[in-house]
Amino acid sequence: MRRPYGVKIINKKKAGAKGLKWVMGEVETMSLLIHPNIVRLEETFQDEENLWIVMEYMPGGELRSAVLRDGIFSETQARRITTQLLLALEFIHQNGIVHRDMKPENCLLSEGDLVCKISDFGFSVLVGSDQCLMSFCGTTVFMAPEIFGDTSYGKPVDMWAIGVMVYFMVTGTYPFTGRSQRELTDAICGGRCNLKSGRIAEGSASLRDFISMLLVVDPNRRLSAREALKHPWIKVGMNMGNSIRDETESKRHGLRPRSVFRAAIIALMAAHRLCYLRYCRMLENNSCSAFTILRNFRFAVSGVYEPPCPTLDCSGVFARHPRGVRFLLPMLEVSRTIEALDLSSNNIDNLTVFQQLAKTVSQHPTLVSLNLSFNPIPLLAGRGLLRLARSPQSKLLHLGLDGTLLPSETIAQISAALKEKAVVSSAAAFTPQLTPATRSLEISTSLSRNNPCLASPRQRFGLPHSPFTRQPVRKTTEPRLPPLSNTKRRAGK
């Protein structure tokens, strides 16, 4: 049986490089978010002219069209849709993503059973747990007050939009209006929403309380998706939400094992890609995304890093942005094969970076060589490097400090400490080590030699001796020759 799909066609020439980058960001986000209430991305492909995005088909159309076509929703219908949107938003926010364009036009319905799914992630962005967004984007009537201000914003902007959407579903109008864009903006920023008159007043007190807790000007006091799911107005219909989950689970159990396995693999790959995307966005926010060595997929996903060879050459890599060394140190900590690290010519002059570097190197199990030449090392960092050179737990034997700002006396002390450590380590390498087994064998042999009662079973029963024990001198029964002196004396007589 053939299934219908929704297809979005983008003309690459009209979109331009910036537009295509925007679209590919949306595609990447959709591929990472797999949830029953998020429109599923099926496939993407392109030809010379167009980019084709194949998505799950939702025959019910947009939520806004359904309200305008069929009339306002009852509280039960609005609650059912709102619950699904909150479940999807909770999942999106848990993955560190802000949608930024929540509105009825971006919520699609199935046909007949009021299953609602979020679509259009064109404005979505990965922010982690921080409130760090500053761009002005979205649809004005659904935009939160903090977007209009000079402060940063984050996930609460999606919850404000949910409040506006609930108001729209049960009344067919918007909570904030104005004869001009300026008046509308002032109404939103002032939070001037009347919930005591008009159609909204005909709703239940629980509904009005739910909307009022979402349309709070202060984002810190606004309900999160998880908190909104616990609100009494939503909890009344949670049995309906449970039935949705049960239906989803029953469909999943009805799949063939191969399909289940394939879905699990896709989900795992999506989770890995999401981890990597989050890690790359973190590097980008710290102006370190240009460093190829830091964009290591294995480290971002599993926290494991092993370079192809034991020498890690980073000479001059961080010269334009020395603080990027901070993001290299966690990779160095988890490595167990790096023996030499070259950080020369990187303009490292931050005392904190040197302190973190010294701590990492002192605890590293295999690193024996570190090159910090041609870096403007601060004088206070010299003490830490001297402690590192003298540290008995450190494996470091060579420290390159040519062309630095450190005094010659400090460099001489560091060099002497490393030479002393090298002598001690080489002497320890050639010292024969007596194993516990050999030591106990020698002790038992000496005891048995001094006391026959403590002789070993080998000695008592006449078995061959161990090659590690000294062979006893056997007494012969043959007659001895007389001493030479007696023989001469007798011959003389």
Catalytic residues: 101
Q: Are strands 398-400 and 369-371 parallel, antiparallel or unpaired?
A: parallel
SS3 of the chain: the string is CCCCEEEEEEEHHHHHHHHHHHHHHHHHHHHHCCCCCECCEEEEEECCCEEEEEEECCCCEEHHHHHHHHCCCCHHHHHHHHHHHHHHHHHHHHCCEECCCCCHHHEEECCCCCCEEECCCCCCEECCCCCCECCCCCCHHHCCHHHHCCCCECCHHHHHHHHHHHHHHHHCCCCCCCCCHHHHHHHHHHCCCCCCCCHHHHCCHHHHHHHHHHCCCCCCCCCCHHHHCCCHHHHCCHHHHHHHHHHHHHHHHCCCHHHHHHHHHHHHHHHHHHHHHHHHHHHHHCCCCCCHHHCCHHHHHHCCCCCCCCEEECCCCCCCCHHHHHHHHHHHHHCCCCCEEECCCCCCCCHHHHHHHHHHHHCCCCCCEEECCCCCCCHHHHHHHHHHHHCCCCCCCEEECCCCCCCHHHHHHHHHHHHHHHHHHHHHHHCCCCCHHHHHHHHHHHHHHHCHHHCCHHHHCCCCCCCCCCCCCCCCCCCCCCCHHHHHHHHHC
Taking CB atoms within 8 Å and a gap of at least 24, the contacts of 441-450 are: 441/466, 441/468, 441/469, 442/468, 445/469, 445/470
CB atoms within 10 A of CB 194: 9
Chain centroid to CA 329: how far?
Answer: 15
Do 52 and 2 contact (CB within 8 A), yes or no?
no
Neighbour-count burial for 232-242, b at 16+ CB within 10 Å, e otherwise: ebbeebeeebe
Q: Three-state secondary structure along 328-371?
A: HHHHHHHCCCCCEEECCCCCCCCHHHHHHHHHHHHCCCCCCEEE
Q: CA 375, CA 383: separation in Å to the nearest integer?
A: 16
Amino acid, res. 381? A
